Structure 1
Amino acid sequence: MPDSEPAPAADLLREAEAFVAKHPEIEAFETLFADLSGVVRGKRYPIEDLKKVAKGGLTFPASVFLLDTQGMSHDPGGKGFSDGDPDVFARMIPETLDPVPWSSMPLAQCLLQFDRGPGRPLELDPRYILKRCVDRLHDLGLRPVVAFELEFYLVDKERTAERGPQPPINPLTRQREAATQVYGMDVIDAYGTILQEIVEACMIQGVPTGAITAEYAPGQFEINLRHVDDPVGAADDCILFKRAVRGVARKHDLQATFMAKPYPERAGSGLHLHVSLLDRDGRNVFDGTLDGGEDLASPTLRHAIGGVLATLPDAMAILAPNVNSFRRFEPNIFVPINRSWGFENRSVALRVPIGDGPSRRIEHRVAGADANPYLALASFLAGIHHGIVNEIDPGPPTEGNAGTAFDPALPMRPRRAIETLAQSKVMDDYLGAGYPTLYAACKEAEYDEFDWLISPQEYEWYL
């Protein structure tokens, strides 16, 4: 998927005309984008309006990128109520117009990118923020190749008496799931119809899926997205993938959730990011044998790791974007809780997976499945660039279990994390001047709203 400037209106119009001719059954289409919290928002139009939208675009208030998870505007930085909530332009992204196979009505969808006018990208759009970081690497003659791995839960639509989630009923045994076998094939077989429909829906929408794995808890799965050399397009795919998973689950009378920690006593769901870097000749600069060396880690790889570890405290508010996100971090469960790296070690924050030199990459294991993929990847690439240009030493790799103790430098509480981000000069440089402050203000208002809620536990303890 292209990550360049908006396509000419004539090209989008031709794409729309060809789509209508190929899919005469379509009755409506949706225009979609992901906001600051990764929530998918947009508008639905009758199909008769497709050519008009393709040719002229549409508008949204710029404040849609400064909403909290519940869709509330808190006027962060005076943007919203104070400035009159001005509109910005939204335009279709080429090659994202596709059918929605799980819909009960003939429906299509496309993704949007935003600008304030020709040549003036919207600085609040997470998609553009990611592109800024990609461009910084391009300026060094480096091209990122990226892939996402996402864990998610299928849960019963019926809640427990405490309004919490519960595992689904196994389609084969007709018994409620109570346990799982990690990598177990019986679980894959039981949910094979749903999982295959997800894969087929992704295929129709051009989202490149890979391996499917049963994970550590009942109803938990992981589906990998394939490596691509377009980071912005890869994040687009991630958004489309999550929407497809939720849509297919609803079709089967289930709910899919990418909540980081839906069950206190069970495994959380992560968003693992894989990145390698190619030079102008297509060689992987993370390959330690590239120039005749024998090390598994090239100097560029070590510097990239050093930069990501150095900026990890600043990025925690992005990698863990809400109160529940931080419940995922616990010792000794393969969830990183400190600034660590290592070869083929799942307890560290940055893992260098097994493989030959040309496939050498960094796996970033900190983000939760609820993180905004554009911003999470942007923070990762920002750290890589920061480390390479400043030649930051990551220290020695970790041997054995790195997950025994929390790192005091990592802000493992929501408000500490947003304070750290707001004060980060590095993230201000990479994500855009003032953006970390606006992001932090948005999240602080969300946490204020959350803190006012009275939980059942509060009555149990204090009534």
Structure 2
Amino acid sequence: MVTAPTGALTDEAQGFLDAHPEVEAIDILLSDLHGIGRGKMIRRHELASLFRAGRGMPASLFAQDVEGNDVPAALDTQRDGGGDSLCWPVPGTLGRQPNGRGLVLLQMFDRQGGPVPHDPRGAMMAQIARARAAGYQPMGALELEFYLLDARGGMARAPLGGRRLSGTNCMSVDELDEMSPFFEAVYAAAASFDLPLETLISEYAPGQFELTLRYRDLARAADDIVLVRQILRSTARRFGMRACFMAKPFGGRSGSGMHLHLSLTDPRGGANLFADGPQGDLSPLMLNAIGGIRAAMADSMLVLGPTLNSWRRLSGAIYSPACNSWGLDDRNVALRIPGGDGAARHFEHRVAGVDANPYLVAACVLGSALDGIEARTDPGPASSAEGAPPLPCDWSQAVQAFAGCASMRRILGPDLHTAYAAIKQHEVARLADHVTDIEWQLYGTL
């Protein structure tokens, strides 16, 4: 019998089928380079075979733009003749969706069981393996900000009372109560996947919310985000709403981020290697990690802000960082060290938008942190936003910087790096050629 290279066991499939005799179909989902779910809907009787033998899909999924069109320069990085590679289930990600179907995440491998180099989850797992080889177990959690809109893109109506969401209402418990039928359905679906959803708040704009997830193994933390976005989309449809994961859907309102909390532990005993020293001093290991991330920040910005819309959030910095800075318990910096118990010390990377691919974010942030640790990179002095170098503020320049960056090529692998850069260069060219409505409004009568 073939052993799944992900470690998935057929017992998981059988346990799900036994627990859910009503489920007739299962969505099998692979995350492309944009974080968009690509895959198939299989029938109940096919699930065991997926866990036993994998399922064929083309690696060309990783050479597509956001609309699913092939990008020739990205396809040129693939040398498989267009044939199918094998996708295998990710252990612990099988559950029942609000739509009544099952769902399981996948990772792609070649026919010999090696990772397909274009798969973003594979890139993350390679950096996790690098960390483990150095004696570190990466731990993390990602926070998710998003908007709930109506089906036409306007403000949604609350399920209780029917009020159209309006006003900032930051941290309003009454608004959470009005939205409670929706979020109760989200939490119920999350329980089927063992998703550790925790705190919910209304954020700093009408219809904007934030969900936090429990800290755990970094790979599972990234999988969590992929799953919870699918659950939010599916649940929203059933309430006549739309879950929006654009980084800046509305000018003049708060953008939506995906903050990554990260630490390294000792895999032998679980001790936090970022914990404060005996005198309350910050861990040199953590400071070196921050130094590595700061050194790579400009070249990694395309991963953190992958779309033109991402840069609207970064240039209009309402509670989003504008500088390459770090500091203690300061929400204006890019890399924040939260206060609290020094034994649980970690840092929060606050730059990525909610539109970023969580696997690529995890790979680049962890890889840059490991580079900093290996080189013992000094993070420089803690500073406020005013005292630090600005983050890049131009999307097309970020594409060029990423494409020419040797460290991003090494961290992500040459094939994924080249394909991602080619797709984004294609996207920049397409949008540069598009005449917008505002141009007609301003210049159409000249």
Separation (CA, whole Å) in 2 of partners of 1:66 and 1:274 = 30
Q: Mark the CA change 1:82 to 1:306 in structure 2 (over 3 Å): closer, same or farther.
A: closer
State whether structure 2 residue 208 is matched by structure 1 residue 220. yes
Q: CA deviation at 1:444?
A: 1.0
Q: Write out aligned runs for 1:65-214 (5 A).
A: 65-79=62-76, 84-100=81-97, 102-103=98-99, 106-158=100-152, 165-214=153-202
Larger displacement relative to structure 2 (438-447 or 337-346): 438-447
Could you tell me which residue of structure 1 aligns to residue 6 of structure 2? 6
State whether structure 2 residue 280 is matched by structure 1 residue 294. yes
Separation (CA, whole Å) in 2 of partners of 1:344 and 1:93 = 35
Alpha-carbon displacement from aligned partner over 1:49-82 (angstroms, at most 9, x marks no partner): 2233332221111110121111111122443899
State whether structure 2 residue 34 is matched by structure 1 residue 27. no
Instruction: Look up the SS of the partner of 1:32 in the other structure.
Output: strand
State whether structure 2 residue 425 is matched by structure 1 residue 421. no
Separation (CA, whole Å) in 2 of partners of 1:71 and 1:226 = 33
Alpha-carbon displacement from aligned partner over 1:93-116 (angstroms, at most 9, x marks no partner): 23322211x11xx41111111111
Could you tell me which residue of structure 2 aligns to residue 284 of structure 1? 272
Instruction: Look up the SS of the partner of 1:271 in the other structure.
Output: coil
Could you tell me which residue of structure 2 aligns to residue 327 of structure 1? 312
Q: Mark the CA change 1:133 to 1:172 in structure 2 (over 3 Å): closer, same or farther.
A: same
State whether structure 2 residue 360 is matched by structure 1 residue 366. no
Q: CA deviation at 1:270?
A: 0.2
Separation (CA, whole Å) in 1 of partners of 2:286 and 2:48 = 47
Q: Mark the CA change 1:189 to 1:112 in structure 2 (over 3 Å): closer, same or farther.
A: same
Contact 2:254 2:319 in 1 (8 A): no
State whether structure 2 residue 295 is matched by structure 1 residue 310. yes
Separation (CA, whole Å) in 2 of partners of 1:50 and 1:304 = 41
Instruction: Look up the SS of the partner of 1:371 in the other structure.
Output: coil
Contact 1:411 1:420 in 2 (8 A): no
Contact 1:89 1:117 in 2 (8 A): yes
Instruction: Look up the SS of the partner of 2:12 in the other structure.
Output: helix
Q: Paired residue for 1:346, among 314, 325, 331?
A: 331
Q: Mark the CA change 1:406 to 1:83 in structure 2 (over 3 Å): closer, same or farther.
A: farther
Larger displacement relative to structure 2 (46-55 or 125-134): 46-55
Separation (CA, whole Å) in 2 of partners of 1:173 and 1:407 = 48
Q: CA deviation at 1:368?
A: 0.2
Could you tell me which residue of structure 2 aligns to residue 260 of structure 1? 247
Query: How big is the alpha-carbon RMSD for the aligned residues of Structure 1 and Structure 2?
Result: 2.0
Larger displacement relative to structure 2 (72-81 or 241-250): 72-81
Larger displacement relative to structure 2 (179-188 or 372-381): 179-188
Instruction: Look up the SS of the partner of 1:94 in the other structure.
Output: coil
Q: Mark the CA change 1:54 to 1:82 in structure 2 (over 3 Å): closer, same or farther.
A: closer
Contact 1:33 1:40 in 2 (8 A): yes
Separation (CA, whole Å) in 2 of partners of 1:430 and 1:352 = 24
Q: What letter is aligned with 1:430?
A: I
Structure 2: runs of 5 or more not aligned = none
Could you tell me which residue of structure 2 aligns to residue 162 of structure 1? none
Percent of aligned pairs sharing the same letter: 37
Q: What letter is aligned with 2:363?
A: A
Q: CA deviation at 1:184?
A: 1.2
Q: CA deviation at 1:202?
A: 0.7
Q: Mark the CA change 1:125 to 1:330 in structure 2 (over 3 Å): closer, same or farther.
A: same
Alpha-carbon displacement from aligned partner over 1:196-228 (angstroms, at most 9, x marks no partner): 211111111111111001100011000001100
Contact 1:75 1:81 in 2 (8 A): no
- Please give the TM-score of this superposition, normalised by the length of structure 1: 0.90
Separation (CA, whole Å) in 2 of partners of 1:397 and 1:205 = 39
Q: What letter is aligned with 1:456?
A: D
Q: Paired residue for 1:459, among 424, 440, 443?
A: 440
Instruction: Look up the SS of the partner of 1:123 in the other structure.
Output: coil
Report how many aligned residue pairs link the two structures. Answer: 440
State whether structure 2 residue 245 is matched by structure 1 residue 248. no
Contact 1:152 1:369 in 2 (8 A): yes
Structure 1: runs of 5 or more not aligned = 159-164
Could you tell me which residue of structure 2 aligns to residue 435 of structure 1? 416
Separation (CA, whole Å) in 1 of partners of 2:5 and 2:296 = 29
Contact 1:168 1:176 in 2 (8 A): yes
Separation (CA, whole Å) in 1 of partners of 2:415 and 2:331 = 35
Q: CA deviation at 1:83?
A: 6.7
Separation (CA, whole Å) in 1 of partners of 2:178 and 2:380 = 45
Contact 2:197 2:214 in 1 (8 A): yes
Could you tell me which residue of structure 2 aligns to residue 161 of structure 1? none
Separation (CA, whole Å) in 2 of partners of 1:260 and 1:142 = 32
Q: Write out aligned runs for 1:383-398 (5 A).
A: 383-398=368-383
Q: CA deviation at 1:86?
A: 2.7
Q: CA deviation at 1:344?
A: 0.3
Separation (CA, whole Å) in 1 of partners of 2:219 and 2:78 = 31
State whether structure 2 residue 262 is matched by structure 1 residue 275. yes
Separation (CA, whole Å) in 2 of partners of 1:55 and 1:262 = 42
- Please give the TM-score of this superposition, normalised by the length of structure 2: 0.94
Which runs of at least 4 in structure 1 moved beyond 6 Å after TM superposition?
A: 80-83
Alpha-carbon displacement from aligned partner over 1:335-356 (angstroms, at most 9, x marks no partner): 1111100000000000000111
Q: Mark the CA change 1:152 to 1:120 in structure 2 (over 3 Å): closer, same or farther.
A: same
Q: What letter is aligned with 2:438?
A: Q
Q: Mark the CA change 1:78 to 1:31 in structure 2 (over 3 Å): closer, same or farther.
A: closer
